[in-house]
Each structure stands twice: as structure tokens, then as C-alpha cells.
């Protein structure tokens, strides 16, 4: 298997989807000749043509409407929102329209739309670019929210999202685009949606995270291993709907858990994970649930990002608290 970056895996998935299914279209701001501001669609217009990979005028709600309307002509649109901080401009298309449409049409029509968008801190972007807004879309019935944490998953989950007949918000971690490399299987394959994955096995406690939080959790688990604590790391991969079965299995195995997210404590997915654990698996717990999340402030200015974002040390400290409880 070839070692590839997260963004190369994403581009490869789109290239394969365009190749396999003539109904797949890619559009968004600057995705054409420029290949997207991060080059996620680099070369795709040249290879697949301007009819299938094309730029849009600068208006996110218009992009959302375009995707919804194109489904009536049996297209499978992949629309890019250049930064997920621009979510609010396209919120009606996502939450008010595409998420409701299967229900609204009494299950008579499909809305196979993928909303791709980069999110997450660590690259010192201007304001309203890096925010972790996944919690907002994860609260919307009728839409999946998928957040891969490594290149192989990014490719397989994106291909599954494109095959899905329901809309998927596919969130790509901006910091991981080029900082993470990993083995990526060749050719076309899909990775199942709604399924979490154990990325590191352990028996002493579970660390549950998703997206950009996963590599931080793995780093913390490496640190804990030096202290003879074997942490299991569960990557949720799809954050809505949640793989409650996988969450239950790891809790039943370790009896101790730390929930980790890059989003602010009041935002993100962590609270929902903790609620499911409390409701269903509390009798398997040997210690209160630990949580590591960013502070409840507005997403910080670029220069303060590194101080503000969660770190492996925070997870290690919380894990020790949970492991040493009782």
C-alpha cells in the first residue's frame, strides 16, 4: 500500500467517483482550474472536464440550492464549502432543505449530496474559518456528519458518502490535510458509514474522539503507555448518527472513559456521547466520565490557537484522574 497524505486520499476518492459514476459532479468556489484553495480538487477539472468539475459564483446558499436542484436531474453533487466557518451562509440549504427533503417528500426521492468542507484549528486561519461547528449540523435529523481522522478512512468514507442516497456533511480536518500521512489501499473501496473504529487497543480506559481529536488522543495513549496504562482509542468516524454499539463495547471492556473533542466544551459531539454512555452503560463504569474539550470562548484569534486548543497532555492528565479514581 502506498503512503499518502489525507488530502491526497480525498482527491483520489473524488477522482475515482468521477470516473465510476458519470452522475457525480463537483462544484464550489475555486474548485475548478485552481483545484480548490487547498488543492483538494487539483487536476480534476482538467481530467474530467468543465461540465463535471466547475466553479460557482461566491455565494454559499446558492451552492446549496444548486446541489439540491441538481438531484432532480439524477446528479450526485459534491459541493464544497470553502471553509466550514461559512456554514451559516448555507445553513438553510443544509438544515432547512436537504436534510428534510427525504422526509418532506414522504420517502419518494433521494438527495445524494455530499457537502465537503474543511474545519478545525492549528493552521492560524483568519476568523470564521477553523471553527468546529460539527455539533450544529449533528443536531439536524436527516443528515449524516462524517469526520475522518486518517487518509485511508478519508478515502473510503468519502466514497461511501458519495454512494449514500442521503445528504452527508463530510468534514475534512484542515490541520490533517498535509500533517498526517498513512497507508491508503489502492483503487475504489468504501468504508462503512455510522461505524466507529478502534484505532488503538487497550484494556485500562477508553478514549473516545473523532476527526482532529483522534491523533491527539493517540499521542496521549502513547504517553500513557509509558506509564503502563493501556488506553483504547475509539474513533467515531461518523458523528451523527452515533455508533452506540461500538461505544458500549469499549466501555464494557475498560469501564473507564475520557471523551475528547477539539470543539468547545459546550459544542461538539462529546456531550451527546457522554449522554448515551450515562443512559445506557453507567453500570459498566468504574469512574465518572472524563471530558477534554476546548474552552467555552469564541474560537480564538490565530496567535492564541496553540494555547487554546486541546493537547495530548490534557488528555493524559484527565486519563490519570479517571484511571486513579477510587
- The catalytic site residues sit at 129
Of 321, 316, 260, 250, which is closest to residue 284 (Cα–Cα)?
250
CB of 260 to another protein, least distance (A): 21
**Residue ranges binding another protein (CB under 8 A):** 51, 56-57, 59, 61-62, 64-73, 75, 92-93, 96-97, 102-108, 110, 141-142, 144, 164-166, 193-194, 240-245, 276
- The three state secondary structure string of 245-266 is HHHHHHHHHHCCEEEEEEEECC
What whole-number distance in Å separates Cα of residue 276 and Cα of residue 253? 16
CB of 79 to another protein, least distance (A): 10
H or E, element range at 213 = helix 213-226
What whole-number distance in Å separates Cα of residue 259 and Cα of residue 326? 19
What whole-number distance in Å separates Cα of residue 293 and Cα of residue 77? 34
- The overall longest dimension of the chain from CA atoms, in Å, is 63
Of 108, 95, 205, which is closest to residue 139 (Cα–Cα)?
95
CB of 4 to another protein, least distance (A): 28
CB of 124 to another protein, least distance (A): 30
CB of 38 to another protein, least distance (A): 23
Distances (CA, A) of 284 to 162, 254, 287: 37, 9, 9
Q: Are 240 and 133 in contact (CB under 8 A)?
A: no
Pairing of strands 76-80, 114-119: parallel
What whole-number distance in Å separates Cα of residue 222 and Cα of residue 224? 5
H or E, element range at 320 = helix 312-323
Burial group, residue 144, by CB count within 10 angstroms (0-12, 13-18, 19+): buried
Q: Are 137 and 90 in contact (CB under 8 A)?
A: no
CB of 90 to another protein, least distance (A): 10
Amino acid at each position: 500500500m502506498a503512503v499518502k497524505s489525507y488530502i491526497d486520499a480525498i482527491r483520489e476518492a473524488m477522482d475515482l467517483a468521477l470516473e465510476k459514476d458519470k452522475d457525480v459532479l463537483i462544484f464550489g468556489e475555486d474548485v475548478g482550474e485552481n483545484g480548490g484553495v487547498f488543492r483538494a480538487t487539483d487536476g480534476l477539472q482538467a481530467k474530467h472536464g468543465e461540465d463535471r468539475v466547475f466553479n460557482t459564483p461566491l455565494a454559499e446558499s446558492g451552492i446549496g440550492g444548486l446541489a439540491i436542484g441538481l438531484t432532480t436531474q439524477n446528479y450526485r453533487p459534491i459541493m464544497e464549502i470553502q471553509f466550514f466557518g461559512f456554514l451559516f451562509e448555507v445553513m438553510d440549504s443544509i438544515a432547512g432543505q436537504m436534510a428534510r427533503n427525504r422526509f418532506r417528500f414522504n420517502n419518494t426521492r433521494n438527495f445524494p449530496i455530499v457537502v465537503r468542507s474543511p474545519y478545525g484549528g492549528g493552521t492560524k486561519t483568519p476568523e470564521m474559518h477553523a471553527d468546529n461547528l460539527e455539533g450544529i449540523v449533528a443536531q439536524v435529523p436527516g443528515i449524516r456528519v462524517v469526520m475522518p481522522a486518517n487518509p485511508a478512512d478519508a478515502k473510503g468514507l468519502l466514497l461511501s458518502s458519495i454512494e449514500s442516497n442521503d445528504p452527508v456533511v463530510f468534514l475534512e480536518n484542515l490541520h490533517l490535510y498535509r500533517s498526517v500521512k498513512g497507508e491508503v489501499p489502492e483503487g475504489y473501496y468504501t468504508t462503512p458509514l455510522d461505524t466507529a473504529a478502534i484505532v488503538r487497543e487497550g484494556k485500562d480506559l477508553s478514549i473516545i474522539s473523532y476527526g482532529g481529536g483522534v491523533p491527539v488522543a493517540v499521542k496521549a495513549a502513547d504517553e500513557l503507555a509509558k506509564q503502563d496504562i493501556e488506553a483504547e482509542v475509539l474513533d467515531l468516524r461518523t458523528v451523527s448518527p452515533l455508533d452506540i454499539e461500538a461505544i458500549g463495547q469499549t466501555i464494557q471492556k475498560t469501564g473507564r472513559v475520557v471523551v475528547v473533542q477539539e470543539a468547545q466544551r459546550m459544542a461538539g459531539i462529546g456531550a451527546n456521547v457522554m449522554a448515551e454512555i450515562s443512559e445506557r452503560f453507567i453500570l459498566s463504569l468504574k469512574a465518572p466520565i472524563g471530558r477534554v474539550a476546548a474552552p467555552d470562548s469564541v474560537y480564538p484569534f490565530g496567535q492564541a490557537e496553540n494555547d487554546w486548543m486541546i493537547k495530548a497532555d490534557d488528555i493524559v492528565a484527565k486519563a490519570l484522574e479517571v484511571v486513579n479514581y477510587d
